[in-house]
Structures are given as structure tokens and as C-alpha cells.
Structure 1
Amino acid sequence: MRKFAKLLCTAAAVSLLPLSAAMAQISERTIKFAFLNQMDHPQGLGAQKFAELIKQKSGGKHTVKLFAGGALGGDLQTVSALQGGTVEVTVLNAGLLASQVKEFAAMDIPFLFNNSKEAFAVMDSDFAKRLLNRLQDKNLVGLSYWDLGFRNMTNSKRPVTKLEDISGLKLRVLQLPVYIDLFNTLGANAVPMPFTELYAAMETKAVDGQDNPVTLIHNSKFYEVQKYLTLTRHTYNPQVLMVSKKFWDKLSAQEKKVFESAAAEATAYQRQVSLEREASSLEALKKAGMQVNELSPAELARIRERIKPVVAKATQNIGDAMLSEMNAAIAKVRGAK
């Protein structure tokens, strides 16, 4: 019996050796994760899940500190902080990375995807992964794509039910050429502005409105300063979860596996939460008093026709090779239905 017990102890010790060796490669680390939305937004919920998974998979050796609501600055400031190594992790709209890798502008082409399922499949394709790999030359390491949803338009002046209703509205837009061109072409006065300044600008009537996914509109309480919501679903916003390359290069092979595994699990969770919150947020906005309008197929067709020059300009800047890859990925997903 003693011999058998000894054998069991020996076997257990041997089985633990690989695990012990792996854990020995993991150092004590405190990691700053900065992002723009609040903790109860799907972005914040995804960040919390990522932090939990990192702690769990590192055996408690890695602690992720979350800085929500732009506490460490706007998205572009945070990108600079990652490149400098003063912040380790962030998640932000993929299109904002066009200033680093111009092909990321492809993600902001209007009416690119028909639905979230289609968008997720393309974001998980080899095309999208190759795009992430290009960030390394800019001292950034892309891990995966999260979901912000489809953008819709709000304003405080009037219902928008047809193309002409957009004319003259002063709308805050992302600080990207395609958004400026899009809304100016539709007859609005596009005002590029950081998100952190948006609520105050709407409250003081410096701008009449903006465009964002309904979950963000609800979570940021835009219904307090905006009366009208139009479900245009004009642009899909994938978000890139990424880390500082300066930080990444300090990690052991095992620590990198921890981050990659946590990113994969957190991405699946975040996307599901985002889809669920989109439906509940729309109902909440209606209850909060927002007037919600949907554009007819005929009006959407008019908008698509009007913005053809915007799409042509955006695709020209991306380059033929990348555009072909993206279109092939979309065609593959649609053909798989």
C-alpha cells in the first residue's frame, strides 16, 4: 500500500512539472488597460472579462487595472501612450488606426456589411488578421476585433426620415476623412471632435447631433440632450483590442499565450454582450423619450447613391490589393450562407 501511495505521489509530481515550468515563465505584472466607454458598456464589460481571464490564466500574477471613460485621454492619446509604453492595453475603433496603417480606413467604408454575423466572420478572416499584423511596425500588437455595432444618427432639431432632413444639421463626426466626407456629402455640416467633448457640445448646442451605435447612445445618456434617433446603420464599427509592442516584447512565450487565450475568450463574450445590449438599449431609448425613425428602403437607396463618390474616394486611398482582399473575404462569407 505504501509503495502504491509513493507511486501516486511520484506520478502527481511528474504531472505537475509542465504546469510548474509554465508558471515559472510568468512574472508579477500590473497592466494598465485604458478605453473610452464606461464600465457598464459592452466595451467595459469586455474589458472586465479580459482582466478576469488574464488574472486567472496567469495564476494571479498579472493584474489588469481598468481606466474607463477616457480617464487617461482620448483614443488617439491612448494609442500614443501604447507606443510609448506608458499604457499597456486599449480597445478602440479600428478606423482610428488608419493614421498608423492606412488600410484600416477600409473598416469605415459606409454600408460595407449587411449585419453583425457577416461582420464578425470577416473580422475573423485571414484578411483581418493580416491587417492586425501590420500594426507591429507601429509599435502596436493587435490581438482581436471587438464589436461596437452599427452607427446611427441622432439630433436635437428634427426627425430625419428622408435625405433632405439631414441638410444643414451640424453633426459631430469621428476625426477621420471618410466621416467628414460622408456627412458633408449628405448635406450636413460635419464637425470633427473627440468623443470626450461630445456630450457637452450637444448640451450647449455647439452641435446638433452625432452618429454612434445605439448601445453607446444609451450608455452615454445622449437621450438627455438628443430628441431624435434615425436607424441609418450606415457604418459598422469593429474595435481593435491591442497591446503596446514595448510591453509585448517583454513578455515570455507563456505570458503571450495567456494574453492570446484571454483575448480570444473575451472577444466571444464581448460580441455576445454587445448584440444583447443593442436590442435592450433601443427599447430603453424609446422609453427615455427619444423618437426613433427608420429610413425606408427607397430613402436608403437614395443615400447610397448620393455617397458613391465618398465610397470611391475611400476605396482609392486604401489601395487595390487590400480592397481586393477585403472584397474577397466579404464574398466568401456571403457565399457561405
Structure 2
Amino acid sequence: MKAMVIKSFGEAGVFEIAEISKPELKPGHVLIRVRASTVNPIDYKIRSGLLKSLAPETGVLGFDVAGTIEEVGDGVSKFVAGDEVFGCSGAVKEHSGALAEYQLVDANLLAKRPANLSLEECVALPLVSITAWDALIRGANIKEGEYVLVHGGAGGVGHLGIQLAKMKGAEVFSTVSSDEKAEIVKGYGATPINYRNLSVTQYVEEYTNQKGFDVVFDTVGGDNLMRSFEASKLEGRVTSVNTRITCDLSILHQKALSLHVVFMIIPILYNQDKGKAQHGKILNEIVRGVESEDITPLIHKEVFPFKKVSEAHSLLESGKATGKIVLRGFDISD
């Protein structure tokens, strides 16, 4: 079968098209004819060599998958051949990614496509929605009426965080860097805060009467983690998807904050059956949110074919994409 593979680490141009073996069906899994995938930051971090220890043995990246089930393995009862499904299948170590004609996926990681989204639309949801759910629903356990600050609310994980927090009845605020992004977060129901115009002290005073936010969701990482601690109220909850930073945690102690860190691929990386089943359950909750029109994915205007995955990686790394970058699978003419 055809696949886009990396045979070395480096710049976005290292991808090449290759013929590799079609996966063999095994119990508890389904074989998917891949129709779409996406580009996530973890994809380019693996490709560049920053996270080379996670690289898939086949060299095939692509964490999100959407497609049609061709075969069902022993022990799988919730899907049949012909079902259109989506999920975050992983592209780490022994788990080959979605940038191929076919992918073998643990059935627990999947859900059926929402009725009101196409495969190319719903593929934008799995990794980011599971991450946001883990951060805000499982980790921070947000409650109705709480003040929630989402850093980077116009981003892939951030815009799902806003929508999940709104579904829980929270008052949601989001940091943005431009008027365009302010309109995006307003469209999802959040109050925009342009961090270029207001300091943390200023927006905490303006929007929380100096008390701080009940929950702060950091989707940015780096130095922004310290700003998240600063924006939190006493005994508040901070949750982050990127804590690869050395910092002074004195403020964490002084304010008695709790910190929840999210690395959503752990169930796949460590083959945790319970965690993988939880991913499938979360996706079914996301499906319900999509079908009730409480959740809408933000998708970049240009869809790239698998053969142009290098261009898609370059775009994501440039920071110029608005919304999730979707990749269209191989077709008969490829």
C-alpha cells in the first residue's frame, strides 16, 4: 500500500511516498481505509527529531484518522465493515500512523462519525478534543458558573476548550493576539482578552475584580505557564498541555494551586486498555456535542492531499494556519 514516510529526521521536506506492507488484522482491532488525517504539533516534533524516541517504526506519522472500516477483528462488536469512524490512533513506536492507504487501529480508540460532519471535518476533532476534555473535564472538573481562562482559544486545543467549558456552564475568557482571533473566540462564546494590550494583572483586575480565575487552561506552554499561575485565584486549578520548562514553582505553593498536566497519548504509548477505552467514550461524548451543535471544529481553509504533507507541516510550523490543518487521503489516481 502507499504511504507517506519519513526515513530520517529533519525539515518538513523529509517526507517521501513509499510502498509498505498492508497491516494484518488482529483481535480487538479494525482495518480502516483512510480518508483523512491532520497535522498536530506532535507530528512535526517527531519529524524534526525533537521527540525522536516516539517515532513510529514504520516512519508513518498522522495521529488523527477518519475513514471506512474494511475489516473487523475478533472480539470487536461495536463496529462492522462499512462503518465510517474517526479517532486518535497514535503514530508512536509500534503504532503506525494514518498517512497511508490503510491503518490498523484498536477499536476502543474509535467512534462513529457524527451525522452532521464529513470524514474530512470530523478528523479535525480527536486529538484536540480528547486533550481539552482531559484538561477541563477530567483534570480541572469545571463547574457551572466558574470563571475559566483559556490561553490560545483560537488554536486547535483552545477552541475545543472554550466549547467544552461553555457546555459545562462556565464563564469563559480567552487570550488572543489579534482582532481576527478575537472574533473567532467570540464566535465560540468566550470573552476575548488581547494579551498584547493588557498585562495579566490588568485583565485579572478587569474581569475578575482582582480575584483571579477559578480555572486556567494553558494550551501555549513555555513562559505562559507562569502567567497561568499568576492569573489563577487562590487555590485555583491550572491545567496545561505543555510543561517542558524549568521554572520557579514558589507561586504554586504561595497560592496553593493545583496543576494538572495532559499528555493524551499515554494510553496508546503504554498500551493501557482502560485509557484507550476512555478515549473512545470521550469521542462519543464529543459526537453528541457536535450533533447538538454545541461543538464545531475550526478547520483551516485549505485541505492538503497526503502527497503534500510537507507543505502542511511547514504551514503549521509557520504559525500562519487558522484552524486545524486537514489532510486528504490517497485516492485511486494517486
TM value normalised by structure 1: 0.29
> Where is the strand percentage greater, Structure 1 or Structure 2?
2
Higher Rg: 1
- The higher relative CO (CA closer than 8 Å, separation ≥ 6) is in 1
